Amino acid sequence: MGFLLMSLLQAQLDRSCQSIQHEIGVGKVADYIPALAQVPSDKFAAAIITVTGETASFGAAKEALSIQSISKLFTLASTLNLRGTKLWDRVGREPSGNAFNSIVQLEMECGIPRNPFINAGALVVTDAMLGDQQSTQDCTSDLLSFVRDLAQDNSIVIDEDVARSERDAAFRNASLCYFMKNFKNLERPVDDVLDVYCQQCAISMNCKQLARSALFLANNGIDPLTHKKIVSEERARRLNAMMMLCGHYDASGDFAFRVGLPGKSGVGGGIVVVVPDVAAVAVWSPRLNANGNSHAGTAALEALVRETQWNVL
């Protein structure tokens, strides 16, 4: 393809990603979930989709990654749609300033997690999503349908090896659940909540699908390409606010400082960000910084906002 045929967006993405390739070897792959430790650590990908449907991609953008905590965005959106705003009685809306899997605040704050994106908060959201649904499998497949619908792609699946690997090692998340059960902030049996939570984290998507799935958040809750209303305008604004303040755990301030866009990360090395009224972007690079966020992925987003001047601040 000749240079003249390349879009400005693609050129901006290429320049941004090329400028940070030396960062790919920095950081450590998550190994506390054994199946995630198997993923080659030098992978890198990025994908953009704009609200007008223009796309750009770089690297392994069609290769699936384990979305892990990015799933917390989908479960929050879906659960608020299913159960309404009473969910906020059970989970707060403040940055935690603690590690994503920390238990320390839970005791002082009587079993009410600081926000829906730390593990304790996400487990409460999953519990609420389950509600009185009999089968955990039905709950998981409803969530998968929600995600497939967002991404407009029915090929998205759950990686059962990753789900099993996390479920077998879910001691910390089990502890968080039992702790919250003691404070009566978990309705379902701990095993049910962990089963669904480990499945949601093991959803496998590529960067193109991830960016597409977040596009409704760049367009006031309406998918700009199908015109389908996913959430209300107010809810979209609030989901973006949660991502801005809590999407990167105890590095949320640093991410806002460097990137300045609402985003959600996962220990699989993926990050999805929203540029309101413009686009959604996903990046992937498995090596993580000390806070559990993709090192090179963050660097790529920082370079991209410098190139494009995208910023909500």
Q: Which residues of the shown chain bind ligand DON in the complex (CB under 6 A)?
A: 68-69, 100-101, 119, 166, 173, 201, 265-267, 292-293
Q: Which is nearer to ligand DON, 3 or 171 (CB)?
A: 171
Q: Which is nearer to ligand DON, 118 or 274 (CB)?
A: 118
Residue 166 beta carbon to ligand DON: minimum distance, rounded to whole angstroms: 5
**Helix (H, G, I), strand (E, B), or coil: what is residue 191?**
helix
Q: Which is nearer to ligand DON, 47 or 193 (CB)?
A: 193
Residue 223 beta carbon to ligand DON: minimum distance, rounded to whole angstroms: 25
Other C-beta atoms closer than 10 Å to the C-beta of 19 total 16
- Short-list 287, 311, 310, CA closest to 298: 287
The CA distance from 73 to 103, in Å, is 21
Q: What is the DSSP letter of 229?
A: B
Burial class (CB in 10 A: 0-12, 13-18, 19+), 178: exposed
Which residue in this structure is represented by tokens 């989901």?
A: 239
- Short-list 303, 228, 309, 310, CA closest to 275: 310
Q: What is the DSSP letter of 27?
A: S
Residue 69 beta carbon to ligand DON: minimum distance, rounded to whole angstroms: 3
Q: Which is nearer to ligand DON, 115 or 173 (CB)?
A: 173
The CA distance from 33 to 169, in Å, is 7
Q: Which is nearer to ligand DON, 50 or 293 (CB)?
A: 293
Residue 9 beta carbon to ligand DON: minimum distance, rounded to whole angstroms: 27
Residue 55 beta carbon to ligand DON: minimum distance, rounded to whole angstroms: 26
Q: Which is nearer to ligand DON, 212 or 295 (CB)?
A: 295
Residue 284 beta carbon to ligand DON: minimum distance, rounded to whole angstroms: 13
Residue 30 beta carbon to ligand DON: minimum distance, rounded to whole angstroms: 8
The CA distance from 170 to 123, in Å, is 12
Q: Which is nearer to ligand DON, 59 or 266 (CB)?
A: 266
Name the closest residue to ligand DON (Cβ): 69
Contact 151, 130 (CB under 8 A): no
- Short-list 162, 158, 79, CA closest to 122: 79
